[in-house]
Amino acid sequence: MTTRFDLSGKTALVTGANTGLGQAIAIALAEAGAGIVAVGRSSMDETEAAIRSTGRSFRAVHADLSTLEPIERVISEAGESGRIDILVNNAGIIRRADAIEFSEGDWDAVMNVNLKSVFFLTQAVARRMLADGGGGKVINIASLLSFQGGIRIPSYTASKSGLAGLTRLLACEWAGKGINVNGIAPGYFVTNNTEALREDPDRNAQILGRIPAGRWGDPTDIGGAAVFLASSAADYIHGVILPVDGGWLAR
């Protein structure tokens, strides 16, 4: 039965799809019917196996988004799978150090991946969406740090706060042109980025004590939000940052 959440016939480009939240989002979109173009720096064999088990198409594009150099190639290779209908900007990195000691290199590395490459990849995809008038969906993976300050992650907080603002700006510019731009703000999930926190007994206990749901998020918890924002059910939603956080922000 066809529903407003059905993504059959659509193609989604998902960055950072080789592991963690990106992988979970790609699988959820495929389960809803979308073909997947997965962008990542490392092997995507596991993601590919999961996507192909759904019967959907899969294409891997290996690229390092720490610079703008691969963007045109990513778009070109993705285009071989057909029109890009959905873009999920998930790729991101984090660097941890006290603000007083934080280095320029760590600042630039995070900002380049988490904000600069996101903008210019989105620009490149949107140009094609606008050119054929078919519209599309852009989903930016923001963070609780789009709303809060955090500690020891100054460039990550700055980049994710900036990404929330960029989401709203692009929504304002493109909503009337058929492109929905929204974001998801994951809470504390079991991913590579949070490994250091989970291995620190004190920080782990502090975080769990603040989450009303009483647990860290599993990557599978985020897929439904991505499917919703990618679907026609969200056609009148623009510029929203949707928290998927186990109730963290409500605390």
At residue 69, does pLDDT exceed 50? yes
For the stretch 17-37, pLDDT in tens is 999 999 999 999 999 999 999
Of the listed 156, 174, 228, 248, which one is catalytic? 156
Whether residue 85 is predicted with pLDDT greater than 70 in this model: the reply is: yes
| pLDDT tens digits, one per residue of 201-245 | 999 999 999 999 999 999 999 999 999 999 999 999 999 999 999
Domains and CATH numbers, the chain: 11-243 (3.40.50.720)
What's the confidence (pLDDT) of residue 2?
Answer: 67
86-107 tens-digit pLDDT: 999 999 999 999 999 999 999 9
Q: Which residues contact 175 (CB under 8 A, 6 or more apart)?
A: 181, 238, 239
The CA-based angle 51-38-18, given to 5 degrees, is: 80
Mean pLDDT of 123-130: 98
Per-residue pLDDT tens digits for 216-226: 999 999 999 99
Instruction: Give catalytic status of residue 156 as yes or no.
Output: yes
